[in-house]
C-alpha cells in the first residue's frame, strides 16, 4: 500500500513538473530536443547552399543550449537534456566532416569548434578532435589527388579540393555575358552583393531590368506608385511644353535599384526568406528549396512573417548592404 502511494506521489509530482515546464516554455520559449530536431540541422549542414547558415545556427545553439541543458533538474528533464545534447553532438560531428574550403565556412567552423572546446566534456572533446583530424587528412589527400589530376592549375596546399564544384575561378576570366545570365537568376540579396564585387559587375547588377522583376515581386505597391508618379510627370511636361522636361524627369526618377533599397529599408521583413535560407511552412521552420532563392520569395512564407513576425528557432540572419552597394 505504501509503495502504491509513493508511486502515485511520484507520478503527480512529475505531472506537476511537466505542467510547470510547459507554462514556462509558453512564457519564455526554450529549446528542447523535439524543437531542435524539427529544425533538421543536418540537412543544412550537408547541403552546400545552406552550410554556412547551418553552421552559424549550430554555433548559436551550442553556445547557449548545451550549458542550459546541463543544468536541467529532475529525471524527466535530465532525460530530455541528454537527448538534446546527443542531437547537438551528432550535428557537430556532421559539421566538422563536411569538406568546404570557402573562407566564410572555414571561419564559421573554426568558431564552432572554439565553442565546442569550451562547453563539451573531455571525452566528447577528444572524440571531436580526432574526427576533425581524420576529416582534415582526408580533405588534404583529396586535394592532392585533384591537384595531380588537374596539373599545375591547382596547388596542393591551397585548400581547394574536389568538393568545390567551382574550383578556383578568377573573376576577371568570367565573360560578362555569363555574369549577366547568372545575375538574372539570383535573388535580390545576391544581386546586391554582386554589385560590390567590381566596377564591371556593378554596372551589370545596376540594370533596371534586373531589379524591376524583384521590385514587382517583393514590393508591388512601390512599383505601381512609381509608374503613376512617372505618368503624372510626363503629363505635366506635356502640359507645360518644356523641351528639357525629359532630362529633369529622369533626374527626379531614381533607379529601380535605389527604389528597391529604399523599400527594403522601410519593410525589412520582406527579405527574411532570402536572408536566412529558411521558410515558415505550416508553423514549422524548414530549409528553403534550392530553386526558391531566385525570383519571388518562397510561397510557403506566411503573411504574418512578411509583416515582421519572428521566425521560430535559431536563425542566423546575414544582412545585405543594399544601400551601400
DSSP letter for each residue of 10-71: HHHHHHHHHHHHHHHHHHS----HHHHHHT-HHHHHHSTTTHHHHHHHHHHHHHHHHHHHHT
Residue 121 sits in the same domain as residue 54: yes
Per-residue cell: 129: 578532435
Q: Among 242, 257, 248, which residue's Cα sits nearest to residue 322?
A: 257
> Residues near 208 by Cβ (< 8 Å), separated by ≥ 6?
255, 256, 257
> Can you tell me the distance from the alpha carbon of 151 to that of 155, in angstroms, rounded to the nearest whole number?
9
The length of the chain in residues reads 325
Same-domain status, 197 and 297: yes
pTM above 0.95, yes or no: no
Domain that holds residue 79: 30-148
Residue 264, domain member (yes or no): yes
Residue with cell 580533405: 139
Query: What is the reported pLDDT for 248?
Result: 44
92 with 133, same domain: the answer is yes
Q: What is the pLDDT along the chain (325 residues), one digit of tens a residue?
A: 444 444 444 344 433 444 433 434 433 345 666 777 777 888 888 888 788 888 888 888 888 777 665 555 555 556 667 788 888 888 888 888 888 778 888 888 888 888 888 888 888 888 888 887 887 777 777 777 766 665 544 444 444 444 444 444 556 567 777 888 888 877 788 888 888 888 888 888 888 888 887 877 777 776 566 667 767 777 777 777 654 444 444 444 567 778 787 787 777 777 766 666 666 666 666 676 654 544 444 444 444 444 433 333 333 333 333 333 4
Q: Are residues 106 and 48 in the same domain?
A: yes
Query: Does the residue 41 lie in any domain?
Result: yes
Quick check: is 311 in a domain? no
- Tell me the β-bridge partners of 281: 284
Cα–Cα distance measured from residue 125 to residue 114, given in angstroms and rounded to the nearest whole number: 11
Same domain, 129 and 178: no
Q: 125 lies in a domain?
A: yes
Number of domains in the chain: 2
Q: Do 277 and 202 share a structural domain? A: yes
Q: Are residues 188 and 69 in the same domain?
A: no
Amino acid at each position: 500500500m505504501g509503495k502504491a502511494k509513493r508511486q502515485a506521489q511520484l507520478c503527480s509530482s512529475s505531472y506537476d513538473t511537466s505542467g510547470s515546464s510547459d507554462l514556462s516554455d509558453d512564457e519564455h520559449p526554450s529549446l528542447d530536443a523535439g524543437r531542435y530536431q524539427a529544425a533538421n540541422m543536418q540537412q543544412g549542414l550537408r547541403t552546400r547552399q545552406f552550410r554556412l547558415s547551418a553552421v552559424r545556427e549550430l554555433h548559436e545553439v551550442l553556445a547557449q543550449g548545451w550549458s542550459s541543458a546541463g543544468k536541467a533538474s529532475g529525471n524527466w528533464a535530465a532525460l530530455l537534456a541528454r537527448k538534446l545534447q546527443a542531437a547537438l553532438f551528432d550535428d557537430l560531428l556532421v559539421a566538422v566532416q563536411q569538406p568546404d574550403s570557402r573562407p566564410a565556412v572555414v571561419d564559421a567552423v573554426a568558431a564552432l569548434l572554439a565553442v565546442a572546446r569550451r562547453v563539451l566534456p573531455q571525452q566528447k572533446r577528444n572524440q571531436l578532435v580526432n574526427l576533425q583530424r581524420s576529416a582534415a587528412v582526408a580533405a588534404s589527400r583529396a586535394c592532392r589527388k585533384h591537384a595531380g589530376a588537374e596539373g599545375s592549375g591547382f596547388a596542393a596546399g591551397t585548400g581547394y579540393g574536389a568538393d568545390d564544384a567551382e574550383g578556383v575561378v578568377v573573376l576577371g576570366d568570367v565573360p560578362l555575358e555569363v555574369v549577366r545570365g547568372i545575375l538574372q537568376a539570383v535573388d535580390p540579396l545576391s544581386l546586391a552583393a554582386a554589385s560590390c564585387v567590381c566596377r564591371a559587375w556593378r554596372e551589370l547588377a545596376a540594370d533596371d531590368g534586373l531589379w524591376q522583376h524583384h521590385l514587382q515581386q517583393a514590393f508591388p505597391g512601390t512599383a505601381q506608385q512609381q509608374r503613376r508618379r512617372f505618368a503624372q510627370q510626363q503629363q505635366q511636361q506635356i502640359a507645360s511644353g518644356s523641351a528639357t522636361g525629359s532630362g529633369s524627369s529622369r533626374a527626379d526618377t531614381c533607379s529601380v535599384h535605389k527604389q528597391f533599397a529604399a523599400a527594403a529599408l522601410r519593410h525589412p521583413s520582406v527579405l527574411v526568406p532570402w536572408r536566412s535560407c529558411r521558410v515558415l511552412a505550416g508553423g514549422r521552420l524548414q530549409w528553403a528549396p534550392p530553386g526558391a532563392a531566385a525570383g519571388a520569395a518562397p510561397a510557403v512564407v506566411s503573411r504574418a512573417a512578411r509583416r515582421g513576425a519572428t521566425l521560430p528557432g535559431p536563425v542566423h540572419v546575414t544582412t545585405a548592404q543594399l544601400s551601400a552597394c
